[in-house]
Structure 1
Amino acid sequence: MSRTIYGPDHQDFRRTVRGFVETEAQPNYARYCEQRLIDRDLWLKAGSLGLLGLHVPERYGGGDAADWRFTAVVLEELSRFSSGLSSSFGIHCDIVAPYLCDLTDDGQKTRWLPGFASGELITAIGMTEPGGGSDLANLRTTARKTGDGWLLNGAKTFITNGSRADLVVVAARTAPGRASRGISLFVVEAGTPGFARGTKLDKVGQAESDTAELFFDDAVVPPENLLGEEGRGFVYMMQRLPQERLNCAVSNLANAGAVLAETLRYVKSRKAFGTPIGSFQHNRFKLAEMTTALDVARSYVQDCVLAHVAGELTAVQAAKAKWWSAQVQNDILDNCVQLHGGYGYMRESPVARAWLDGRVSKIWAGTNEIMKEIIGRDLGI
């Protein structure tokens, strides 16, 4: 049994994205990994093809796509090739986009959205703090109002696109002692006095996706860079986290599916004792288990995508999709490394790269443990 949630327009768009990956990203991938940074030229090419501004209004240079399935297509095609590539572009076009499209006034839209859609302005989002992890309600970064705007103090860590982002959406505490009700959002621009970046972090995987620490030492943020209403930052983040977690789920399964497909080809051609290794009963059972787990997980995630398109996706549904897809992905990747044997442990092997890249999916956007906490609380436990 199989189905598709995509129509002809989505599939036409998929061919565009796949062509972008094959002709633009793939030939330069080794360089991106070596420099731990994706060239700006690739961002500009993605912008010219309409991959970055899908949900930006047309008058600001975007595609004005009301259907999130177009974003899902981008995530799937990027993730099939590289989790890191999907991470960098996904943060920009799908995680930051709702903040800049939904919470900005006309002046802010005019300043930021055209460059956002074209790839001239690369973006990041600063939520996670050193020692804070998934506990967004207890942010320590502060923003103090002054006559000239705000003074921002604190630090963020593990920020994707952080080393070169032109705009960073930063969550900061504007009302001490009010927990989640005292958080506001700001757009911090490159070159802001008092804003500094650490060196690119040396991650286990996803080398091509630049990740950095951000530091704010009396960073001067003008009043017109407040995003939305003061004190509503936590609400804004909670409203947009389900989409971020669905983003992860779609990406996780696309990545796992590509690695599993490659492994199936490998076990049919690789022989041991004169027999294709895929025909050994143990291996055949493992492949059957992985294929079933992937199909079942994909069916649930597809239902979540359709719910999101209809405006009905809940935080609990997104939590289930995020943690389970990450678990399925990592189980598949680990089994595929095992089926490749020693070759699967070589860094130049695609399956080894995917194995290293995929481990973080059980950590970011809220750890799997946090996802289970959300689900468990919904059960009244």
Structure 2
Amino acid sequence: MTDQAQLHQQLLDTLTAGGVLRTEPWKRAAEAVRRHEFLRGGFFRRVEGAMPAAWAPVLDSDAGWLEACYQDESLITQIAGTILPTDIRGQIMREPTSSSTLPSLVLRMLEDLAVEPESQVLEIGTGTGYSTALLCSRLDEQQVTSIEFDADVATRARTALARQDMFPVIVTGDGLLGYADSAPYDRIIATCGLRTVPAAWIEQTKPGGLILATVGGWLGSSELTRLTVHEDGTASGPLLSGDVSFMLARPHAAPPLGLLPDLNEGKEREAVIGADVLTDWSTRFVVQLAVPGAQRLTLDREGHTEVVLIDVESGSWAAVYEDGGRWIVRQDGPDALWDSVEAQLGRWHAAGTPALEEFTVTVTPEGQTIQW
């Protein structure tokens, strides 16, 4: 057995033992698709200890590249929208914009997608093409359509798939619009994060079909949901267990904060709930439902640390800090953001803090709601 085959088998054994690979068809698909073939251009590895975060390229000629391809971890493949591992030497301190998602999450989602042998599938976010190849191996390439926002990323994925003799429909465009030319679909799966599930996906999915997507917001907490599309043009379904995080679809990314407001203004009061609650993933998800336009930052000001929520569109903000064992909030703008946070968490606690798996996502022509 070659080093590559041995590394591949070890990954498959790990995913099977961990309950990620649950059915024989997906086990066979995972066995047939070699992840390293979709990382030939290299990846970026985070530089340990660098603050702010820095990234260094690892090319397919470097020691450790092959081993990393078969680790169960996400690998960054593009920085700042255009920069590839082959473009730089040394380190870069910019934001990642494309990646190869960790195999356990890719395969867990594909298992959760519950495809049938004749399913027509739309994938939102082609990325490297690895997940697309798994779909082609499990189904038939003629049943798979994948859409990628970035034209260069789509081209590299198309090339990698062709090397594996796979030729699904790869489209460059806004995945939030779906792809009507191949509709209707039995399944839609998104490998990017969303603030809201687009109505176009529901319109392009057959009644009874499933949409698997990650919903969240700008406070950085997100969850996987599986929606069933209904005859009346709506869709609904539960959140699935387990914290799931993807880069947000580029049209859903948060706007720049710009010039910060004068945080010395506003009305101040003692807070009922402190900002420490935002360190908890589930609580932060619930908070996002109350202040969906808010972003969070932390500032050291006047001898204390303030957690600040800012809604760029409305101009509202709230700064929360601890002083002498008490939490203080100061807020301004048309919406009292921390009042909304406290009211939302109060309702959630009154209901017994139901787990996120007890939440239901509903999408109608009027918009999306998430409720417990």
- Taking structure 1 as the reference length, what is the TM-score of the superposition? 0.29
Which protein is richer in strand relative to its size? 2
- Taking structure 2 as the reference length, what is the TM-score of the superposition? 0.29
Which protein is richer in helix relative to its size? 1
Larger RCO (alpha carbons 8 Å, 6+ apart) = 1
